A and B are shown apart, each in its own frame.
Chain A
Amino acid sequence: EAGVTQFPSHSVIEKGQTVTLRCDPISGHDNLYWYRRVMGKEIKFLLHFVKESKQDESGMPNNRFLAERTGGTYSTLKVQPAELEDSGVYFCASSQDLADGGEKLFFGSGTQLSVL
């Protein structure tokens, strides 16, 4: 069974450009989460999808970030325009049931985003 996959693994862009990150969750997992880790700091929650619906987007930093999950399968996270402080590692995770919480949460290996 394939795990959570993220693409690209690394992205280097200039300030003001647009970047789109993609996450393919484990097949059948309704819950999909985006997290971000700025270097040396906590892994911060960004948002949570249940199927194609945004269940909780309280962690999205501002309106330069747009997340979608069309059809309830893969998800994209677009940053437009990117700023220097957006640099960090963006993690995607999925779980089958909401109540799985931390116990049955599967993570991708992350996308390292560098904004220069």
Chain B
Amino acid sequence: GNSVTQMEGPVTLSEEAFLTINCTYTATGYPSLFWYVQYPGEGLQLLLKATKADDKGSNKGFEATYRKETTSFHLEKGSVQVSDSAVYFCALTGSGGSYIPTFGRGTSLIVHP
């Protein structure tokens, strides 16, 4: 079946540090890949997506590249801010004809001033 594996958190960084949150997946066919973010007290919201191999999704300074050869979709940001503190979820859809997302366990990011 489909699965998504994320690095365990929390990830604690100082403001302006470089961020990487690792995500790897197991799926049949060619899934679409997503990163969702959940800010404190809010629901999950889509951060970025990539629908085919070598696509790069980007939004709000975050980037992730769909790497089929390594089945990965790592999230990066060059300079984090305190306001980026949140929980980040990697997800996939479309594998085996299913449109229902499969999520990872989430990675908490804490950014200190």
Contacts and interface: CB of A to CB of B under 8 A. Distances in A.
Main secondary structure of the interface of A (DSSP, over half): mixed
Interface residues of B, number: 24
Interface stretch (B17-25, B62-70, B71-79, B103-111): B103-111
B44 interface: yes
A48 B4 contact: no
A99 B103 CA distance: 17
A112 B72 CA distance: 31
Given A33-B100, A37-B106, A102-B32, A110 B43 contact: yes
A30 to B, nearest CB: 13
Nearest to A37: B106
A41 B105 CA distance: 5
A56 B44 contact: no
Interface residues of A, number: 27
B56 to A, nearest CB: 16
A88 interface: no
Interface of A: 3-4, 33, 35, 37, 40-45, 48, 56, 91, 93, 98-103, 105-110
The 5 closest A-B pairs by CB, nearest first: A107-B43, A43-B103, A101-B99, A101-B93, A107-B44
Interface of B: 4, 32, 34, 36, 41-46, 49, 89, 91-94, 99-106
30 contacts: A3-B43, A37-B106, A41-B105, A42-B4, A42-B104, A43-B104, A43-B105, A44-B103, A56-B100, A91-B44, A93-B44, A98-B99, A99-B99, A100-B99, A101-B32, A101-B94, A102-B32, A102-B49, A102-B91, A102-B92, A102-B99, A103-B32, A103-B34, A103-B46, A105-B46, A105-B101, A107-B44, A107-B45, A108-B43, A109-B42
